[in-house]
Amino acid sequence: MNQSNPDKPGSPGGPGGTLEEQRLGEWLVRNLLVDKGELELATARPGDPMGADALLQRLRLRGLITNHQARRLGESLDSLLGQGIPGYELIDRIGQGSTAQVFKARHLGTDRLVALKVMPGRAGGPSSEVQKFLALARAWARVRHPRIVQVLDAGERPFPFCALEYLPVPSMERDPRVIKRSTPFSERDLARVGLQVSEALCCLHGKGVVHRDIKPANLFLLEDGSILVGDLGLALWNKVDPHQARERGLALGSPYYMPPEQIANDAPLDGRADLYALGITLFQLATGRVPYSGDNPDQVYQHHFETPVPRLNQGRPDLSAAFCETVSNLMAKDARHRPASAEVVVELFGRIEARARLEGGAKAGR
């Protein structure tokens, strides 16, 4: 898994920083040896070495701590920072969320790159938050499918973490091969996306899991053209919502991709919600825009409820009637009018992709 959310370049714990450097900075501020402003003055410059020792030296060279303090703290780093996450070598930070950070790391036992999601400083935090994090990691680890990003490991000490499959590509939302294309996706490529995502949804729905956040930001296009589905952080597990989103007026998900029943928190939400989001995603990949937009989420929500489903063939007259009709049916506002299951969608896109492949081969043979 490859995520990114750039922080201020070079800041302690930011991109290019290390978890140990961030933890040391937090410890120094917490114990009043420096304040946050002084810590910011020790920001690494391009080419500067990174790590806890390097941070101490930058603080010393800028006169923010004394030589004696730098030496004494350097001798105590092991006890201050612990041993990190046993068995993993941290390389770079590649993502930042509200409660966790994601690092590119190496599992030392297998020499395998992973995306290591950690909750630094949370080992002694609220137990409910930690247990929710670990429960999600363990549940996700039980979902094994070639179209779904895998959780490989999880643990609680010295702080909560989970290791995910590392993907050397950004999500389709940020992938230059997607957003900087000189030509639109062909019908065959679009059908392949629909086919492979619905294959992943077959697995999830068969286990009672509703992904609840299908969108380009959670899809990954590998170099061989295959698609992986990631981020089960908002998933509904056997009708149990770990986020307790059923409060009045609270809808979890991404506004552009949510079906009306998810916006309204209608129970019970089922896999057809993911099929709606898949339809929106395919419309966006085909046209370069989402079908419903607005100045704020409420406007977008209103479009999902009231605006007629746009006709895909108006913007892409080259696409077949079968493909456009399938996408339109996925985007039906009433879940009863969508395909009954992800298995049905696999069959539909399988036929469309096969026909497009045959037609492409026939044209190439002329």
Point out the residues that are catalytic. Answer: 213
Cis ω for the linkage preceding 9 (within 30 of 0): no
Contacts of residue 134, Cβ cutoff 8 Å, sequence gap at least 6: 154, 156, 160, 162
**Measured in whole angstroms, how far is the alpha carbon of residue 331 from the centre of its chain?**
23
Give the pair of three-digit tokens for residue 91.
Answer: 């390389």
Give CA–CA dist 22/276, Å, rounded: 41
CA distance 344 to 190: 17
Q: Where are the alpha helices (DSSP H) in 111-228?
A: 127-141, 176-179, 187-206
Distance separating alpha carbons of residues 137 and 156, to the nearest angstrom: 11
Q: Are 159 and 121 in contact (CB under 8 A)?
A: yes
Helix segments in 142-255, DSSP class H: 176-179, 187-206
53: enclosing H helix or E strand: helix 52-61
CA–CA separation, 336 and 320 (whole Å): 24
